[in-house]
Amino acid sequence: MFESLVTLITTTALLFGSPGPAPLALAATGATFGVRQGLPFLFGILAGLSAAIIGATVGLAAFFAAVPSARFSVQLAGALYIIFIAYKIAIAPTLDSSDKSTQSPPRFRDGFILNLLNPKAYAAFLAIFSQFILPFSNSITASAVTGLVCLIVAAFVDVIWLYLGGQLRPLFEKPKSARLMRVIFAILMIIAVAIVLIK
pLDDT (tens digit per residue) in 148-177: 999 999 999 999 999 998 898 877 667 777
Sequence-ordered list of residues with C-beta below 8 angstroms from that of 144, at least 6 positions apart, any chain:
none
Q: Based on the number of CB atoms within 10 Å of its own CB, is 66 exposed (0-12), middle (13-18) or buried (19 or more)?
A: exposed
pLDDT (tens digit per residue) in 79-118: 776 677 677 767 766 555 444 445 688 999 999 998 888 8
Using alpha carbons, select from 35, 190, 52, 60 the residue that is nearest to residue 113. Answer: 52
> Structure pTM?
0.73
Using alpha carbons, select from 1, 4, 41, 5 the residue that is nearest to residue 23. Answer: 41
**Whether the predicted pLDDT of 25 surpasses 70:** yes
In this predicted model, which residue has the larger pLDDT, 138 or 98?
138
Chain length of the chain: 199
